[in-house]
Amino acid sequence: MPTSGLKSDMQALTAIFCKGLKHHIRYPGEFAIFLMLPFLFTFLILGMGDAVGGNNAAAYFAARTGTTNIVIYEILGSAVWMTSWVVIEDVGTAIRDEQIKGTLEQNFLAPVHRFTLLVGLSLTDVVITSILFLVVVGVTVAVVLPSSFLTVIPAFLALLLGLIPLFGIGFLFAGFVVRFKEPYIFIQIVNLVFATLTGTYYPVTLLPYWVQVLSGVLPQTYVIDAMRRIVIANQTLVNLYGSIFILLALALAYPIVGYAVFRRIERKASVTGEFSKY
Amino acid sequence: MNPVEVSQLSKTFETREGRLFRKVHRSVVAVDGIDFSVPKGEIFGLLGPNGAGKTTTIKMLCTLITPSSGDAFINGFSVAKDQQKVRENLGVMLTGERTLYWKLTGQENLEYFAALYHLDSAYAKNRILELLKLVGLNERQDTLVENYSTGMRIRLSFAKALLNDARVLLFDEPTASLDPQSSHLIRDIIRDLKREGHAIILTTHNMEEADLLSDRVAIIDQGKIVSLGPPSELKQKVKSSDVIEIEARNLAKQTPAALQSFSEVSKVAITPSQTGETELLRVHVEKGKEVLPRILEFLVRKQATITKVTFIEPTLEDVFIAETGRSLRD
């Protein structure tokens, strides 16, 4: 009694999501890491800033960023970085994780669409991390800048829009991981480079011009900037139509390109028998 | 058209081996132009030693590996071109116990895979309960798979292959690592599935199992089918010879080749015994009773210690020896 079409894809996606959720509930330790890291990175940056800038650190910071609210500025950068790290890493390594567990071929034997499988395998982590993002940012804004508490909602919407192109980058890495194995070193280096380029802890304008060109093609650059403008400068999503438009364009381009690359490498892997190799 | 049609199916793996900058390209032929078909209600055994090409064949049939040339059709769908349709029409059990999610219960595993097979949830619920009962896991359905024994995991994996009630079933070593009781259960279920009209392909390196279950057997070696037919017919081919099994210690490596110089000896194969302390020499010979004293004398002269000599009924292993000159367990 098979179902068909969109219903069957949604049913499969739900099952993959629930399976991931059960795994997380039965291995709960990761939640604590997701919650702590944005704060830890923020305190690290604050400490370094104080050590380097001394009494003038806040003034220097305000001159370069236009705000004295260092904690909010940094926590938004950290939280977006952590969320995008999870998306890219999880989409990129989901296939490898299943391969190591021995369950990848079982999933590939089923008539479920590969796109559904690839998205589904990382969806649980993305949803959990996004919820944790809301908690981290919500609590910080409520404590440090309570008057802006409601801006967390549009800021979260900007983040959700920015996650779509990140799935595309994740697909690209999923392909590379199938081909080269060794996922973690590869993806961690890229995520650190992304943090450097996208204004996670400082404005992109401080970077050399040619580096800013690279920043301009990364969705996190626009998400981080938009969220800071919404939460700190009280701008609305409508005011930020330029960034939103670019994010929409990236949301279309990255998944198409990323999935095309993944499928190409995946087809080659089925010729070489790569999926059975550890 | 039969549910399974395999035509000139081949697979060559291209590899690059050696050190960095000194890599050498190598082609490995895993499956070499095999042909066979499986009608409804037949159990078709693929028998061969490890590395013979059985699993590669199964993986091509279930679309995990793309054939280099040739094609196979599952219910009329090409494994090379209609992969999605092939997957919908197949139930597959791959070897090993790590094919399940250990942090999920038995029932949760089946629910997950039922959704990937797009089974309607109400139908899936009943089907899962039915299958858990069939493989004797209904009382442990809520236990995490990590707490299952190896046999229970393999039985659950077997149940998974039956979820979508596909008319074509592929079982890769379904009873490997199972205790005798569980093996018996799985074999009985396979026989029932055959009676229901399923076309079943079974790979095994267990010749007794292939003999017991299969209506026809293809003996595969180095990617080629060296013999194909009902087990009884295949064994009939070697019945004209006597088969002597000699258990001995200190057998020299050259012994099998040296024994071939006897004009009455047609084939000789050597394998370690189950204990590993002795070796088993399997000799296909004309007029065995007359030649045996000379063979024993020859072995003693070569310093071998003979512990047991038996005249045995030919098995599928002897068919393999007759065709390849090697043992299935080499």
A196-212 per-position pLDDT tens digit: 999 999 999 999 999 99
**Residue A153 burial (CB count, 10 A):** 11
- Is pTM beyond 0.95? Reply is no
DSSP B157: H
Is position B299 within any domain?
A: yes
Residues B126 and B221 placed together within one structural domain of the fold: yes
Is position B320 within any domain?
A: no
- Note the pLDDT of residue B197: 96
- Note the pLDDT of residue A277: 62
- Evaluate whether ipTM surpasses 0.90: no
What is the three-state SS of chain A? CECCHHHHHHHHHHHHHHHHHHHHHHCCHHHHHHHHHHHHHHHHHHHHHHHHHHHHHHHHHHHHHCCCCHHHHHHHHHHHHHHHHHHHHHHHHHHHHHHHHCCHHHHHHCCCCHHHHHHHHHHHHHHHHHHHHHHHHHHHHHHHCHHHHHHHHHHHHHHHHHHHHHHHHHHHHHHHHHHHCCHHHHHHHHHHHHHHHCCCCCCHHHCCHHHHHHHCCCHHHHHHHHHHHHHCCCCCCCCCHHHHHHHHHHHHHHHHHHHHHHHHHHHHHHHHCHHHCC
Residues B73 and B190 placed together within one structural domain of the fold: yes
Is position B181 within any domain?
A: yes
Instruction: Determine, for residues A11 and B121 on separate chains, whether the beta-carbon distance falls below 8 Å.
Output: yes
Q: Please, which residues have CB within 8 angstroms of residue B314's CB and are 6 or more apart in sequence?
A: B235, B238, B239, B241, B243
Range of the domain at B111: 4-235
Higher pLDDT, B291 or B85: B85
Is any Cβ of chain B less than 8 angstroms from the Cβ of A10?
no
Percent of chain B predicted with pLDDT > 70: 97
pLDDT band for A218, please (50, 70, 90 cuts).
very high
Chain A residue with the nearest C-alpha to that of B122: A1
What is the three-state SS of B225-274? EEEEECHHHHHHHCCCCEEEEEEEECCCCCHHHHHCCCCCEEEEEEEECC
pLDDT at residue B80 tops 70: yes
Is position B150 within any domain?
A: yes
Q: How far is the C-alpha of B43 from the C-alpha of B202, rounded, in Å?
A: 7
Q: Are B41 and B197 in contact (CB under 8 A)?
A: yes
Instruction: Determine, for residues A4 and B111 on separate chains, whether the beta-carbon distance falls below 8 Å.
Output: no
pLDDT band for A102, please (50, 70, 90 cuts).
confident
Higher pLDDT, A201 or A184: A201
Is any Cβ of chain B less than 8 angstroms from the Cβ of A271?
yes
Is any Cβ of chain B less than 8 angstroms from the Cβ of A1?
yes
Is position B318 within any domain?
A: no
B233-289 per-position pLDDT tens digit: 888 877 777 888 888 888 887 887 888 888 888 888 887 776 777 888 888 888 888
- Note the pLDDT of residue A249: 96
B190-211 per-position pLDDT tens digit: 999 999 999 999 998 788 888 8
Percent of chain B predicted with pLDDT > 90: 52
Q: How far is the C-alpha of A235 from the C-alpha of B56, rounded, in Å?
A: 60
Residues B119 and B200 placed together within one structural domain of the fold: yes
Residues B211 and B300 placed together within one structural domain of the fold: no
How much is the mean pLDDT over chain A?
A: 87
Is position B330 within any domain?
A: no
Higher pLDDT, B316 or A226: A226
Is any Cβ of chain A less than 8 angstroms from the Cβ of B96?
yes
Is any Cβ of chain B less than 8 angstroms from the Cβ of A276?
yes
* Beta-bridge partners for B74: B4, B77
What is the CATH number for B302? 3.30.70.260
Q: Please, which residues have CB within 8 angstroms of residue A269's CB and are 6 or more apart in sequence?
A: A178, A179, A275
What is the CATH number for B222? 3.40.50.300
pLDDT at residue B81 tops 80: yes
Q: State mean pLDDT over A76-87.
A: 89
- Note the pLDDT of residue A126: 84
pLDDT at residue B50 tops 90: no
Domain final residue pick, B235, B263, B287: B235
Residues B111 and B251 placed together within one structural domain of the fold: no
**Which site among B10, B105, B116 would you substitute to test the A interface, given the most A Cβ atoms closer than 10 Å to its Cβ?**
B116
Residues B189 and B211 placed together within one structural domain of the fold: yes
Chain A residue with the nearest C-alpha to that of B105: A22
User: CA of B66, closest CA in chain A: separation in Å?
Assistant: 5
Chain B residue with the nearest C-alpha to that of A268: B66
Instruction: Determine, for residues B117 and A2 on separate chains, whether the beta-carbon distance falls below 8 Å.
Output: yes
Domain final residue pick, B235, B264, B293: B235
Distance of CA A50 to the CA centre of its chain: 28
Is any Cβ of chain B less than 8 angstroms from the Cβ of A22?
yes
Is any Cβ of chain A less than 8 angstroms from the Cβ of B139?
no
pLDDT at residue A226 tops 90: yes
Is position B292 within any domain?
A: yes
- Note the pLDDT of residue B79: 95
Residues B35 and B127 placed together within one structural domain of the fold: yes
Q: State mean pLDDT over B58-64.
A: 93
How much is the mean pLDDT over chain B?
A: 89
In total, how many domains does chain B have? 2
- Note the pLDDT of residue A186: 77
- Note the pLDDT of residue A275: 67
Is position B148 within any domain?
A: yes
Q: State mean pLDDT over A15-38.
A: 82
Kindly list the residues from chain B whose CB atom is less than 8 angstroms away from the CB atom of residue A276. 59, 64-65
Residues B230 and B245 placed together within one structural domain of the fold: no
Residues B190 and B257 placed together within one structural domain of the fold: no
Higher pLDDT, A191 or B41: B41
Instruction: Determine, for residues B118 and A267 on separate chains, whether the beta-carbon distance falls below 8 Å.
Output: no
- Note the pLDDT of residue A276: 63
Is any Cβ of chain A less than 8 angstroms from the Cβ of B108?
yes
Chain A residue with the nearest C-alpha to that of B56: A273
Residues B90 and B220 placed together within one structural domain of the fold: yes
Residues B150 and B246 placed together within one structural domain of the fold: no
Q: State mean pLDDT over B220-236.
A: 91
Residues B251 and B185 placed together within one structural domain of the fold: no
Of A13-17, A64-68, A130-134, give the range with the top mean pLDDT. A13-17
Domain final residue pick, B209, B235, B261: B235
